[in-house]
Structures are given as structure tokens and as C-alpha cells.
Structure 1
Amino acid sequence: MLGSSLSVNLLRRHGLLFTICCMIGVLIYLMGWSAYLSISLFVSVGIGFTIRLTRYWLSKNYTNMPLSVQFVSAIFIALALWGSAPLLMGWAQTVYQHNLRQYIGIVAMGGFFTVVISFVYYRTEQTMALKKALLQAELDQAKHEKVLAETELKLLQSQMEPHFLFNTLATIQALIDIDPKQANDMLNALTALLRQSLTHARRAWVSLEDELAFIRAYLAIQAVRLGERLDTEITVADSVSLATQFPPMLLQPLIENAVIHGIEQLPYGGKITIRLLSQDSTRLLIVIENSMLAEGSQKSGNGVALDNIKSRLQQIYQGSGHIDISQQQETFLVKLEVPFNGSAV
């Protein structure tokens, strides 16, 4: 019974991957990167399943290899295989004759979209692995209390990133037919954001400079989508060092909330102001202020993200980190206060 259940689950996962890869292939064809729908479908499905099967083989034969290394290795092998093998066999020249660049374009675009999807799979599998580690830590909480706390923090962080990533991919998909140039600009911004995200995911702490770089990359994506409706200002007081250590991905859900529940709902847009201040030289105060409708947001709030932030503050700062949220007419205000350098007081 258990074996049949696992087989059905495996078939569902393969079916989902096959569907996603086919969608990528159709997208590449509609964008004009491929003259043959069958070739774009074949390459996209091939790259996707090569990544999955390679990662499966690595996980079985190199059990101590980190999950991130498995995915990076699988992606490299898949792109190298599909980018070079058909050329070496002379297949691409036969199919495309004088338009060999088009095949390279298919591999490049198919590879990019598949890498993005693989990143989502990576974050999902990482979350599942963290949940499993969390359960194991709970069974032996007396001996592994520190491990439990660290696992919970990483799990909370991993739940935030796919939420934003799926929203961005949906926006890009909507823009492809309406404004291909804007869609391409957003893809470039997303690439920069993913690079920052991978760096953040490996660390328990990042500098304020890195965290602000991540926020600027996120706002760049929203600026492409909202245009002149979004105005932003980030200021850092002279008393605040950008080398100060800060929990990664703690600010992004708050900025996303300011965009979705504030600026996005205003016909003429508005402004998001982020100020970093110091309190008595011992505490960091981050003030996020954004315009919004006087009657409040017309969309349901991001309760899960806010609960995650509160949980992370409690885990990291042990009660010495605080967040305060208020609305004054057409202004929404968030105050986040934590000790400098991650030290609890």
C-alpha cells in the first residue's frame, strides 16, 4: 500500500514537471525563439528531466552532498549536455541548417526558465527537508534545542521566498504578450534578485548593506511593473553602520506589503520611505512608511508573512526585537526595532 502511494506521488511529480516544461517550450515558441514547436518542447522537457534525474542520482550516490550543490551540479550537467551534445552529433545543423543561433537561443531561454523552476523545486525540497529535521529535533528537544531553533528560522525564511517568486513569475507571464521589453527588464531584475537570494539563503546573518541591496533589487522589479506610480526613498543615518549584522529576508515581506496593500491600490501611486536610525547607540530602528487608501487595503492582509516575522524576531532576539504597525489616515507606518549586531539586551 505504501509502495503504491509512493508510486502515484512520483507519477504526479513527474507529470507536473512535464507540464511545466511543456509550458516553457510553448512560451519559447510563442516568443519567436524557435521556428519549431516540437524542438522547443523536446529541449525544454529534456533539460527539465535531465536536471531531476541527475539530482536524483547524486542524492542516491553522494548522500552527504548538500542539496544546493546537488541542484547546481544537476543544472550545470543538463545545460552542458543539451547545449553541446546535439551540436557534436550534427543534429542541430541538419534541423536548422543556416539558423544554428536559434537552437542556441532555445537552449539559453529554456535553460533560464528551467533554472528558475528548479530554484522553486530546490526551495520546496529544502523546506521539506527542514520540516523533517524540525520533527526530528522535536523528538529529542532536550538534547538538540539549539538545532531546533536554527531549523525553525530557516524554515520560516524559506516559506517567504517562493511566495514572492511565484508572484513575480506570474507578472512576467502577463507582460510577455502586452510589453515584451518590460517583461525582459523584469527578467533581468529577477535574475539579480535570485543571485542575492541564494547568497542570503546560505547565511544566518547578512550585513545591512546586503539586505538593502536585496530590497533595492526587489523594488526594481516593482518599479518595472508600476512605473512612475512607485516612488521610493531609502535613507541611512550616519550613526548606523552598513556592516551591522541583520537577519536575511526580514524586511522584504514588509516592503511587499507596502507595495501590494498600499501603492498598488492608489490610482496615482505613492511613495515608500525606508529610514534606518539608531536608538541610544544600542538599538537599530527601521521605519517603513508608505501611502495607502484612507479606508485601508481592499485586499486581505499577508498574515502568514507577518506571523513569520514575529516568530523570527522572537527566535533571534529572545524578546528584545519588536515590530509596531499603525495607520494614520493615508499613511501606513511600520517600526522595527532590534539590538545592533544581533546581540540581545
Structure 2
Amino acid sequence: MDFDLTDEQRLLAESVNRFVSDRYGDFEKRKAYRAEAKGYAAANWSAMAEMGLLALPLTEEEGGFGGGPVETMLVMEAIGRGLVVEPYLATVVLGLGLLRGAGGPPELQAQVAAGEATLAFAHQERQARYDLHDLATTARRDGDAYLLDGAKGVVLNGDTADRIIVSARLSGGRRDRTGIGLFLLDAATQGVTRRGYATQDGLRAAEIVLEGARATLLAEDALPLVERVADEAIAALCAEAVGAMETLRDLTVDYLKTRQQFGRAIGEFQALQHRAADMLVATEQARSMAMYAAMMVQEPDAAARSTALSAAKALVGKLADQLGKEAIQLHGGIAMTEEYKAGHYFKRLSMLNVLFGDVDHHLRRVVAAGGLPD
């Protein structure tokens, strides 16, 4: 595997990091963005569209840049560094990934790329835990459309998205791997009830109830597509975690250099230096796994790809948890105050750890597969 970035990728990374530094360098700005009606800044979303970030996965023929998993990794690392609240994961990685994979409406893809529409993927259900094939939501045909009935939980950006992509059963039992379809509906459609809320990390999600909601079919037998896009999302989450870990580590080291105890900076004590060094090692280990995840997303063997992404998610989740707890302990009580940044990074890392499966879930998947692919 070649882990060296191209000149174009380096320019992309510099551009995104500059944008995040400008818009999120002052932590008070993030609080202001979260207070806006949608829970993020419309001006930032428009700026991301102008930079081409929302069109990143689209081909040049589709008006995009033809970016792949590595480009997504670079963007998500920057998002992690700044604790960006705009719905990039929900709209671009998940929503646009599913739309493109299912051959969804080109005009909607263009609207997303231009920042004129946002998306949400309503898939998770209460009884499913993290099993992507466990679906109780049903779809029944009604003329040239379908009527959806069911309930979805923790739908990222689900309270403000313009369009919602919904997974539902066309046939079979609740845990069958076949008979799963993908559907597209307008969020304002009759029969759609959304209850929005702030997640622990300050972002937004929703519980969605569907009662005869009218939708159009995007794809039949869609589980392989859902699993592939979920793996792409896992790779993106690993990259975001690395960005957040890097910033939280730097915050901690800076604090150790300035906090005085017994007439000297506490960073001069060797025991704390060792713990700071462990945080550096954890960050670099996580970075290596995030790069591995980005490379393995394109693995043609679905089983090998899934196992590799589970291994990456499990290790990055474990390392992020260790680093986050070290950061909180080394800071002391100030780390958990609302005014200080460290606690917010820890909350985001905790949320990243459970999205699309926690450490235990992914470890079980790796064990069941017999270990990593050769």
C-alpha cells in the first residue's frame, strides 16, 4: 500500500484545515453555530459547497472532483480537529454515497453538491443494536410509489434534512439479509414525524416515525450497498477520531506546560511526561489504522473489506477512549466544564466510538471472521 499523499491531496488537506481553523479557531464560534436554527451554520455549509467539499465524491462529469476514500479521510480529519458541526457525514458520506450507489436522481445529487439540499439516512432501529440487516420497518406498494411504516432512531441530521433515505423491508423476516430496499422521501411528506434533539456531543439527530409515508424506491436488494456505505462511514469516523485525538492531545500537552503545582509546571514531572508520550503513541496508532481503513474501503471482497473496517473501528475506538480519559485526568476538573474545549472533544470521541458499532461489536465481527484478511 502507498500511504504517500499526492500534491492534489496535500492541497486539499491544507485548504480544509485552513477553512476549519478560520471558522472554528475561536471555540465561541462553535457555540454560536450550534445555537442557529438547524444546529449548524448555513454560511459554513455554503462555503463548503463553494470549496467543492460537498461535491468531493462526485466524478468530474457529475460536477465533482472524483475524490475517493483518502480525500474523504483528509476532510474528516480536519472536521475532527475543529469539532465541526455541519452535517458532512450525514449528507455527503452517507446520503450522497447511497444516492450515487443506488443511481438516485442526478438533480438531487447536484443540489447536494451545491449546498441547496441536505440528506439523512434513516436506518437504525431500536431492536437492531448494530446489525444492519435487522429491520422491522416495512414498505408496501401503492401505485408507482411505496408506503413506509416503522420507526428509526438516532438519525443523524434527521431533524433538519430536506430529504431522507430510508431502509425498509419489501419482503422476508426481520433479520433476513434479503428483501431490503432503499427509499427516498421528502422530509415534509405526510406520515413523517420527526423528534429532533441534541446528541451528547452537541450535534443533532432525530427519532423518526413513519406512518404510511409515501416514498420512491431507490434500490431493491440494497443490503450490500448499505453495508458498503456503512464501511465508508466507518472509515470516515476513524479519520474524524484521529483529528479530534490530535487536537485533544495538543490541548493536554499545552495545559501540562502551563499548569503550576509545587512551584513548577506539572509537565516537568516525569510520570506525566510518560502519560503524554502514551497519548502521542495512541494518536499515531489511530492514524495508521485510519489510513488502513481508507485503503481497505476499496477492497473488492466485501467480507474482507468488512473485517478490515471492523478491526480499524475497534482499535481506533479503544485508543480514542484511552486518550480521552487520559486527557480528562491530566486536566483535572476544568476538563469537564462547558467553557473549556477538552470535555467537548472527549464527548465527540465517545459518540464516534458508538456510531456504526462500538468496540465490542466490531471485535466480535473480527473474531467471527477468523481475523484480518491476508
Q: For this structure pair, what is the TM-score category when the shorter chain's length is used for normalisation? A: 0.3 to 0.5
Question: Based on CA coordinates, which of the two structures has the bigger radius of gyration?
Answer: 1
Q: Per residue, is there more helix in 1 or in 2?
A: 1
Q: TM-score, normalised by structure 1?
A: 0.36
Q: TM-score, normalised by structure 2?
A: 0.34
